[in-house]
A and B are shown apart, each in its own frame.
Chain A
Amino acid sequence: KAGVTQTPRYLIKTRGQQVTLSCSPISGHRSVSWYQQTPGQGLQFLFEYFSETQRNKGNFPGRFSGRQFSNSRSEMNVSTLELGDSALYLCASSPRALEGDPYEQYFGPGTRLTVT
């Protein structure tokens, strides 16, 4: 099976702009999660989508949003970019179906976002 793919791999944006990142999960996986990784804060959970519905959400401002399509592909959007949004954004898919499943996650290579 093909792994999780993320596009684009690298992105440079200016403060105030918005950005959309894309993630294609492993075939058959319906759960997609997004994480922000920075040297200072480590890995922080953004949100999880399952069957086009947001199932969990981390502690990020409303500028961060996401969605999932019927084919399980997911996008995340960051509006009004700030310098502090510079990070590696990781997408992970999982085969888990039920809340509480001891699921492992399969990560994509990430999108490196630089805000100038």
Chain B
Amino acid sequence: AQSVTQLGSHVSVSEGALVLLRCNYSSSVPPYLFWYVQYPNQGLQLLLKYTSAATLVKGINGFEAEFKKSETSFHLTKPSAHMSDAAEYFCAVSRTTTSGTYKYIFGTGTRLKVLA
């Protein structure tokens, strides 16, 4: 079964520090991978997506993620955290299942807190 695991339900960083949010997927074949962000009382917004074109994916708001097949990881990074980055971040994977249906699975989310 395909799944996605986000390590750390809460992450705190100081303003200006590196942001690293971890995501690992389980799949025998590289899936399509996504990172979404959710601000309070809002829906999810796409940050970036991996669809096998390039292993380093750049997204909005200065975020990027690197697909590492050997580690089955798709960690999200940002060189310098800003107060406005405080939100919940979701990693998601999509893949056609063996039964022919299409699944879009979200991780449990990581709440990022940025300290002044």
**What is A's interface to B at a CB cutoff of 8 Å?**
4, 33, 35, 42-43, 45, 48, 55-56, 90, 92, 99-100, 102-110
Contact = CB atoms under 8 A, between A and B. Distances in A.
Interface stretch (B21-29, B37-45, B73-81): B37-45
B100 A110 contact: no
Contacts of A100: 96, 102
Nearest to A42: B108
Contacts of A104: 34, 46, 49
A107 B45 CA distance: 7
Contacts of B32: 102
B41 A109 contact: yes
B43 A4 contact: yes
- Give the top 7 A-B pairs by smallest Cβ distance, nearest first: A107-B43, A102-B32, A102-B51, A43-B106, A107-B44, A42-B108, A104-B46
B102 A56 contact: yes
Q: Would you call the interface of chain A mostly helix, strand, loop, or mixed?
A: strand
Nearest to A91: B43
Interface residues of B, number: 24
Interface of B: 32, 34, 36, 41-46, 49, 51, 90, 94, 96, 100-109
B108 A45 contact: no
B64 to A, nearest CB: 16
Which of the listed residues B34, B94, B102, B103 has the most CB atoms from chain A within 10 Å of its own CB?
Answer: B102
Contacts of A55: 102
Contacts of B34: 104
Which of the listed residues A103, A104, A105 has the most CB atoms from chain B within 10 Å of its own CB?
Answer: A104
Contacts of B101: 56, 99
A110 B39 CA distance: 12
B109 A105 contact: no
A47 B107 CA distance: 18
Nearest to B102: A99
A2 to B, nearest CB: 14
A108 B94 CA distance: 20
Contacts of A106: 46
